């Protein structure tokens, strides 16, 4: 085995971890893969013999790459309302793919990624690398170009932004499914009161792509408003056959037509109530996602 092959094998041993870091940083599976590939190119051009801790070195490199990508994205995004939902990870309810499981450790629900998207890039980096991957602030500080104390403050500000937001779903997956099924049953039956009963008073609904009936909105807050939106969507249909699925490890629903996913519903169920609903119906984005057969 030559030196290049030896280095490639060592890199592959860290790929899953690096992809998990990049997904949490970027919320995009394709961009996460791009960041990991760029890390490999930088490693292959460097003097790896001087690297004592390859995993730590690669993590910081991926962090720098993702930080640059986030800053570039932020500079292009003039209208925050135009921000797209993060890429969902779809799986069967009877078991999640091991590769997906590695990406979803630490309850990385879609709602959490949505909130992470509201953070300043440096805040997001400090929070992800320290709070999710236990990297010391001394190692994160050079990436953001600040002192260790200032980097600690970045992570602290990120935590404060996350406090009080519905980002971590209940651990009881069967109970989540009961609540989600009750939501769709009430929507199909046109039962406004039943819809409100399964929604948190401060529930938020976010949607991207797909047709919108008159009076509907891409962002809605509050149980009554979300229930009304659900009834409005019912008039145009969800676009296919409903199939229960795991969406980022939580109970969700994928509507398919002729076997092709048309709409993905992601739910965040907290304390037995739906606290967030994220709907992705953009056909171009859905075509890029990796769907397991849902049966």
What pLDDT score does 247 carry?
Answer: 92
Rounded CA separation 290/100 (Å): 10
Q: Are 147 and 241 in contact (CB under 8 A)?
A: no
The model's pLDDT over 114-171, given as tens digits with 9 standing for 90+, comes to 989 999 999 999 999 999 999 999 999 999 999 999 999 999 999 998 887 777 888 8
Among residues 226, 225, 289, 293, the alpha carbon closest in space to that of 263 is found at: 289
219 and 128 part of one domain: no
β-sheet bridge partners, residue 221: 204
Residue 101 lies in a domain: no
Among residues 48, 51, 61, the alpha carbon closest in space to that of 15 is found at: 61
- Total count of domains within the chain: 2
The model's pLDDT over 255-274, given as tens digits with 9 standing for 90+, comes to 988 888 889 999 999 999 99
The model's pLDDT over 52-104, given as tens digits with 9 standing for 90+, comes to 788 889 999 999 999 999 999 877 764 444 458 999 988 887 765 665 565 55
Structure tokens at 69: 């990508």
Among residues 217, 287, 277, the alpha carbon closest in space to that of 247 is found at: 277
Averaged over 175-198, what is the pLDDT?
95
Residue 43 lies in a domain: yes
What is the pTM assigned to this prediction?
A: 0.86
Residue 52: strand, helix, or coil = coil
Return mean pLDDT, the chain.
87
Among residues 282, 291, 217, 295, the alpha carbon closest in space to that of 86 is found at: 282
Q: Are 152 and 125 in contact (CB under 8 A)?
A: no
Tally of CB atoms within 10 A around 113: 23
* Domain of residue 248, residue span: 173-286
Looking at residue 22, which CATH number applies to its domain? 1.20.140.160
4 pLDDT tier (thresholds 50, 70, 90): confident
145 and 260 part of one domain: no
Rounded CA separation 147/261 (Å): 47
210 pLDDT tier (thresholds 50, 70, 90): confident
Averaged over 34-49, what is the pLDDT?
88
Among residues 190, 196, 118, the alpha carbon closest in space to that of 158 is found at: 118
Our CA angle for 195, 197, 203, nearest 5°, is 75
93, 127, 162: which is the final residue of a domain? Answer: 162
265 and 124 part of one domain: no
The model's pLDDT over 215-248, given as tens digits with 9 standing for 90+, comes to 667 899 999 999 999 887 765 555 578 899 999 9
Averaged over 10-39, what is the pLDDT?
94
Between 67 and 45, name the one with better pLDDT. 67
What pLDDT score does 270 carry?
Answer: 93
20 pLDDT tier (thresholds 50, 70, 90): very high
51 and 195 part of one domain: no
What pLDDT score does 171 carry?
Answer: 87
64 and 184 part of one domain: no
- Which residues contact residue 134 at a Cβ distance below 8 angstroms, ignoring those fewer than 6 apart? none
30 and 146 part of one domain: yes
Looking at residue 189, which CATH number applies to its domain? 3.10.450.50
């Amino acid at each position: 085995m030559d030196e290049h092959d030896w280095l490639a094998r060592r890199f592959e041993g860290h790929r899953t971890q690096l992809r998990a870091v990049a997904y949490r940083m970027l919320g995009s599976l394709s961009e996460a893969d791009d960041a990991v590939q760029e890390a490999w190119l930088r490693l292959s051009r460097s003097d790896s013999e001087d690297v004592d801790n390859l995993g730590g070195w690669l993590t910081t490199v991926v962090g720098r790459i993702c930080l640059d990508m986030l800053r570039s994205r932020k500079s292009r995004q003039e209208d925050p309302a135009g921000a797209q939902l993060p890429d969902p990870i779809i799986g069967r309810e009877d078991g999640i793919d091991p590769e997906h499981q590695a990406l979803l450790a630490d309850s990385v629900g879609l709602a959490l990624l949505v909130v992470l998207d509201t953070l300043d890039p440096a805040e997001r980096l400090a929070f992800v690398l320290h709070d999710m991957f236990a990297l010391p602030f001394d190692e994160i500080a050079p990436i953001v170009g600040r002192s260790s104390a200032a980097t600690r403050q970045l992570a602290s500000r990120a935590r404060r932004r996350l406090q009080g937001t519905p980002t971590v779903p209940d651990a009881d997956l069967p109970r989540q499914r009961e609540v989600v099924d009750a939501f769709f049953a009430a929507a199909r039956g046109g039962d406004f009161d039943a819809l409100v009963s399964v929604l948190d008073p401060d529930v938020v609904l976010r949607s991207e792509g797909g047709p919108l009936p008159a009076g509907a909105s891409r962002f809605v807050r509050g149980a009554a408003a979300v229930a009304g939106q659900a009834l409005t969507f019912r008039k145009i249909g969800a676009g296919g056959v409903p199939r229960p699925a795991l969406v980022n490890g939580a109970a969700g629903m994928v509507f398919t037509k002729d076997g092709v996913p048309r709409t993905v519903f992601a739910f965040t169920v907290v304390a037995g109530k739906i606290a967030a609903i994220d709907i992705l119906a953009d056909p171009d984005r859905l075509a890029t996602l990796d769907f397991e057969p849902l049966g």
